[in-house]
Amino acid sequence: MKYIISLYYLNLTYFYFSLGLILKAFIDFIPVLFFFISYIFYTDIPVHYINEVNNIFNIGLSTSKSSGIYFATLVLMIVYSVQFFILLSIKQVKKIHYITLFIILVAGLSTLYFKNPFFIKIKPSIVYWGFALFFIISYFIKRTNVIKNLLKEQIELTNKKWNILLSSWIIFFVFCGFLNLYVANYYSEEQWVEFKFYFLGIVLPVFFIILNGLYIGINTKK
């Protein structure tokens, strides 16, 4: 009974910590939300607004659904840039924000210039693999377990368990990168947009965090 109670409170601690991470991630998720909405409702935008966008940015949008991905890409670039400078003004910008901004701008501008959505479609994979690479480099070169550094004040695990947890995050990011690439290549554009938003953006991360919570609850030092 004592074990069950301690496990319950431990998972509760991890839950609240994870909730904080999720809320922080939601702020970073806002540009993706705007991308999704812009794409889904593109054909509902009045023609004169589309013409105004063309006059300002000269990206050759039409009223057909095929232009939705280009409009959504433009919105993503603008929203993330605004978010970045807001974070910069309140001194909350991290290195990852600079890297993400660079990837979004390069992928976005390439998509608009070449009129090829391939670049914006592979952007999530590059970000996922970038996280995985960062974790790997931190561990093998800097001898730092990033996950342990984030959670060690709330949770106590053996070094071996911390390393397993780190490995699970690396595998998760690598898997998400390849999964995004597969769907982007073998499914329709609209299916990819919905998959990226609902499954990669919400369902899979939440499910993975729950699994992490169970693992931590079972393996925490008593």
pLDDT of residue 14: 55
Token representation of residue 220:
């925490």
Domain count across the chain? 1
Instruction: Give residue 43's domain range.
Output: 2-219
pTM for the complete prediction?
Answer: 0.85
Alpha-carbon gap, residue 77 to 31, rounded angstroms: 8
pLDDT of residue 15: 55
φ and ψ of 187, to 5 deg: -125, 170
- Tokens 């070094």: give the residue: 159
pLDDT one digit per residue (tens) for the chain, 222 residues: 444 444 444 455 555 555 555 556 667 789 999 999 999 999 999 999 999 999 999 999 999 999 999 999 999 999 999 999 998 998 888 888 898 999 999 999 999 999 999 999 999 999 999 999 999 999 999 889 998 988 888 788 899 999 999 999 999 999 999 999 999 999 999 999 999 999 999 899 889 988 888 888 887 765
Alpha-carbon gap, residue 73 to 177, rounded angstroms: 19
The 10 Å Cβ neighbour count of residue 95 is 8
